[in-house]
Structure 1
């Protein structure tokens, strides 16, 4: 037992800090004074960073502080560009420093630094996006047109009757967002989600203090419901990690196994990784629900990372009496749709339910704002890769997804989309198996990290899955032409 504790000391400390974040939540929620609540949250956040990182805490603290100053001292027209390049430049130096004689940093410090990058860059894009939207509305009013900006296009804005409807989707930024330097400090270093996420917008953070939602949402029920499943995830992770260790793939015993065993072993590696991630992400969600952050009325049709997508201004002006009787959810801070991760048929759908809050950040910051349309998906995946790290494994795992999607999309449209009954179930199972196998194969590279280890492992499998992808794609293109004919 002692040997296990010593071996996993850092993970145990990290787990205890996550549990502390959960248990302190109800106390933090009940602090009445807004300014005091903000400062206590920031103090707790800095304490957590120092506890988990020691002297290395200087990196997320310094990078966050410099990033905030850069944002506030730049024109709102360009603050998002300044924040993006500054934060990712610091992240680059932070990670490659050990190659130039600097001390290597723990994985937990790296996680905190990643969250700081999301927050600083994310709030800068919120500020710029809301400024552009406000200018567009002002321009429309001057021209005698009531227009708004959506996905880069001018569209006629909703009239007063439409605004009252609960199913009319909001524009991306219905109001200007321009926090003070002090509020940026509180947002970037508040303890909620600082260790491992989830990402949430500045608007969500601001609503937490000034809207009555957290006061009336049943935060304890949501927290208890989430916590109940964590022991199962932890038990599965410990069991899988013991019986299917990663380093086994380099052993002579593994090399002498049958080819079928070797190609199925990544399933177990990926299952180990998923249960570990499910545990951490669920606890991260609980840290939010315990204090009430991310609670919004269900009428808002809330989206992970974003918050309400319908009737936000109406919800914002909700009276205390209305807030008392309305129903709430915490979809805004949902990290993982675990059931979806395990059951969706296609890789495209799997990407949508995996680490949803970060996926939202990538979509908001990169995909929607990248100016060259044909390269949007490549830009989004590239930023996702460098945010995770500079190891080859992240590139092999994340950036190769489009090549599988090209073939998958063809077969989905030809055979699954319009199928019904038993035929749809059978085709769905086949596509689910192929999707799961592809993810497992890619996840092996994510876990092995370095190119030499990945090459040795994939060579032991003859790089077969890339060959399968190519065959699928060629076959799909042929069948597509035949179907059209």
Structure 2
């Protein structure tokens, strides 16, 4: 573990303790300033002088939302934020110091937060001006009621401005919970936490400890597998000299160490954000990751049970037991998944290009290294394979519980073989190294997907329709 990892873990652990203090502060003004100062201090600690990148991003966006018409500020915010993270990643070509890992992560979090803020301001203004009554419009309902007690279970002040003032803005930008790792949350979620009455009495200890409980296990798995099966080895000549079966098998523990590293960091981050009270909503409002509450309380009454789904980043159980990659990916970095769906997929003008637009945006957001794009493009093949496979084998699952369990085990096995080998693009990033690693296994993940696809097509063609209906 290098020095940067030690600082990273120390900051996350300290954030859990600071989050309890944040929640206990009764005055909204002091509370938000406390969160902002702590967050900016963390940014300076982990980024050093490179903190200027986040200051530039935040300051330019504030000019957009404050001084540019809502017809255009969301577009300007999107273009500028994504252009700037692209610039930070190639700035070394201009002789500037390469952006640090922690600086890059903060830029990623700020990008989704600031773009969402600009879009939310625009959407809320449109909703207020048009005074929509369409009960089928989920967007209209959310923006009309986002500060209403029927949705939240508590009262919010009626004088909150559409556009936050400069103090609230920078406190939201640099709020310390989620700053280094996520999860992403919106300005409305931030305001709910700041202005919530009696937030100090919220029962956050138990849910915070529940999110923290797996940390020792995740950390232990990460340490062991990262030490004995480093993913960087996948791109070396020595890896290519291993027996073929060993090359196939090595990817399994390498990917375990890689993904459990994220589980480790996110378990600490989620424990901190739960302890802070950010994203705490009545369970009856059915909050979703990223969005917040989705349904109003019945008669304004709540059982008092809290749900923190609005600020959960991942569901490890559903990822590890997924029987297809779509399910696994859907429960990975869930708040950003929602962001991609809500701000990109649902708003992209061409319906036929919505999926490619999301894939490209997600790959670009992660980085400019072509390995990300190779990974995302490869999911087109695996998605086609899995959907065809499950349709072709549906008749087998109907034969009884034993057959269904067997097919689910097979689906899980195939899913993680695809997942592991496609993730090499993420783990190694450089296209030449990614292709070299894939070539060592004869593109095992892609080849397996093609073989399963052919088998599924043969089953579809050979099995009589009456057999499928049995």
Matched, 1:243 2:228: yes
Asked if structure 2 preserves the Cα contact closer than 8 Å seen for 1:83 and 1:120, the reply is yes
Asked if structure 2 preserves the Cα contact closer than 8 Å seen for 1:133 and 1:148, the reply is no
Residue 48 of structure 1 deviates from its aligned partner by 0.6
Distance 1:177 1:430, change over 3 A: farther
Distance 1:427 1:331, change over 3 A: same
- TM-score, normalised on structure 2? 0.89
Asked if structure 2 preserves the Cα contact closer than 8 Å seen for 1:131 and 1:177, the reply is no
Quote the Cα distance in structure 2 between the aligned partners of 1:251 and 1:58.
Answer: 36
Matched, 1:343 2:327: no
Residue 27 of structure 1: which of 13, 21, 24 is its match? Answer: 21
The residue aligned with 1:399 is 377
Root-mean-square deviation (Å): 2.7
Matched, 1:92 2:86: yes
Matched, 1:120 2:114: yes
The residue aligned with 2:56 is 62
Quote the Cα distance in structure 2 between the aligned partners of 1:181 and 1:481.
Answer: 63
Asked if structure 2 preserves the Cα contact closer than 8 Å seen for 1:136 and 1:148, the reply is no
Matched, 1:149 2:127: no
Range with greater deviation from structure 2 (241-250 or 415-424): 415-424
Aligned-partner SS, 2:177? coil
Asked if structure 1 preserves the Cα contact closer than 8 Å seen for 2:417 and 2:445, the reply is no
Matched, 1:367 2:367: no
Residue 254 of structure 1 deviates from its aligned partner by 3.1
Quote the Cα distance in structure 2 between the aligned partners of 1:46 and 1:274.
Answer: 28
The residue aligned with 2:144 is none
Quote the Cα distance in structure 1 between the aligned partners of 2:40 and 2:150.
Answer: 43
Residue 353 of structure 1: which of 331, 335, 339 is its match? Answer: 331
Asked if structure 1 preserves the Cα contact closer than 8 Å seen for 2:345 and 2:354, the reply is yes
Asked if structure 1 preserves the Cα contact closer than 8 Å seen for 2:235 and 2:434, the reply is no
Residue 476 of structure 1 deviates from its aligned partner by 3.3
Asked if structure 1 preserves the Cα contact closer than 8 Å seen for 2:114 and 2:173, the reply is yes
Quote the Cα distance in structure 2 between the aligned partners of 1:71 and 1:106.
Answer: 28
Residue 403 of structure 1 deviates from its aligned partner by 1.8
Residue 420 of structure 2: which of 424, 440, 450 is its match? Answer: 440
Aligned-partner SS, 1:192? coil
Matched, 1:254 2:232: no
Distance 1:190 1:110, change over 3 A: same
Asked if structure 1 preserves the Cα contact closer than 8 Å seen for 2:208 and 2:274, the reply is yes
Residue 131 of structure 1 deviates from its aligned partner by 3.1
Residue 211 of structure 1: which of 186, 190, 196 is its match? Answer: 196
- TM-score, normalised on structure 1? 0.86
Asked if structure 2 preserves the Cα contact closer than 8 Å seen for 1:130 and 1:177, the reply is no
Cα deviation, 1:341-384, whole Å, max 9, x if unaligned, reads 10011111111111111111111111111111111111011100
Asked if structure 2 preserves the Cα contact closer than 8 Å seen for 1:56 and 1:109, the reply is yes
Asked if structure 1 preserves the Cα contact closer than 8 Å seen for 2:286 and 2:295, the reply is yes
Matched, 1:287 2:267: no
The residue aligned with 1:80 is 74
Distance 1:366 1:250, change over 3 A: closer
Aligned-partner SS, 1:234? helix
Residue 77 of structure 1 deviates from its aligned partner by 2.5
Structure 2 unmatched runs, 5+: 142-147, 152-159, 466-470
Residue 469 of structure 1 deviates from its aligned partner by 2.4
Residue 78 of structure 1 deviates from its aligned partner by 2.5
Aligned-partner SS, 2:137? strand
Quote the Cα distance in structure 1 between the aligned partners of 2:62 and 2:34.
Answer: 19
Q: How does 1:191-230 map to 2 (within 5 A)?
A: 191-212=176-197, 214-230=199-215
The residue aligned with 2:289 is 304
Quote the Cα distance in structure 2 between the aligned partners of 1:129 and 1:484.
Answer: 52
The residue aligned with 2:47 is 53
Residue 177 of structure 1 deviates from its aligned partner by 8.2
Cα deviation, 1:17-57, whole Å, max 9, x if unaligned, reads 11111111111111111111111111111111000000001
Quote the Cα distance in structure 2 between the aligned partners of 1:112 and 1:196.
Answer: 8
Q: How does 1:404-483 map to 2 (within 5 A)?
A: 404-416=382-394, 419=398, 420-480=400-460
Quote the Cα distance in structure 2 between the aligned partners of 1:126 and 1:165.
Answer: 20
Aligned-partner SS, 2:11? helix
Structure 1 unmatched runs, 5+: 141-145, 156-162, 167-175
